[in-house]
Amino acid sequence: MFAGGELGDPEAVLDLLRKDDLVVAANGGTRHCRLLGLIPSVLVGDLDSANAADLDHVERYGTTISRFPVHKDRTDLELALAYACSLEPTDVLVFGAFGLRWDHTLANVLLLLHPDFAGTKIALCDGQQTLQIVRDQLKLVGVPGDLLSLLPLSEEVRGVSASGLEYTLRNRVLHRGTTLGVSNRFTGSRVELKVRSGVVLVGHARVGERPRCG
């Protein structure tokens, strides 16, 4: 899925796509698709930030357009994720979710906690950095030196364990707002995270030359 924020590293983003991925554009994300030469299957949004070239691109290739009014109760990315989750995908990778409108970036990150999306594995990614949540367990693949941050989103997160990192965590309690989990580092290529109760936001920043999401 492509949202309308900053894309990040275009080559790394293309590198992450597989041939059988379904591409969905959320409003301004259409521009990213056009510039990357991708044809979205579906465009969801109010079309207020898609220009003539973007619309021409999707109309030419038969993209299904799911148009919403400008004055609506949900952001384009929430609407697009609702559509994507209704297809019951194995996972959703969202590009263009980050940007310099901090309220929008934060709203996009908090979408990971949307009650309707709880059953879907969603990751926000710019090719170099990935944000996703862990409620029970999560395995990550990277390279030694990759940065990993664990940010509690619940007031109290219990039973947090993390292996494969410079600072190992064993059955710890993390309190929201504290920064104990910021800027840990991969010691090898695999990290395993476990959480007994609560939700943790996981930030993974890659240092390698071929970024991946995960």
147 binds a second copy (CB under 8 A): yes
Q: Is the dihedral of CA 170, 176, 178, 181 positive or negative?
A: positive
Toward a second copy, which CB reaches closer, 62 or 115? 115
Any contact of residue 145 with a second copy (CB under 8 A)? Answer: no
> CA dist 177 to 131, 151, 153, 170, 182, Å?
17, 8, 8, 20, 11
Contacts (Cβ under 8 Å, ≥6 apart) of 94: 1, 2, 3, 77, 81, 108, 122, 123, 124, 125
Per-residue interface string for the shown chain with a second copy, residues 68-87, x marking contact by CB under 8 A: -----xxx-xx---------
Asked if 137 interacts with a second copy (CB under 8 A), we say: no
Report the alpha-carbon distance of residue 48 to residue 26 in Å, rounded. Answer: 11
Q: Does 112 bind a second copy (CB under 8 A)?
A: yes
Q: Does residue 173 bind a second copy (CB under 8 A)?
A: no
Rg (CA), the chain: 18
Query: CA-to-CA distance for 22 and 11, rounded, in angstroms?
Result: 18
Tokens 């409620």 map to which residue? 135
Tell me whether residue 44 or residue 58 sits nearer to a second copy (CB atom).
44
Using CB under 8 A, which of 121, 176, 185, 194 touches a second copy? Answer: 176
**Tokens, residue 28:** 């301004």
Site track for a second copy across 35-64, x = CB under 8 A = ------------------------------
Asked if 101 is part of the footprint of a second copy (rule: CB under 8 A), the reply reads yes
Q: For binding to a second copy (CB under 8 A), which residues are involved?
A: 73-75, 77-78, 98, 100-107, 109-115, 117, 126, 129, 131, 147, 149, 151-153, 155, 175-180, 182-183, 201, 203, 205
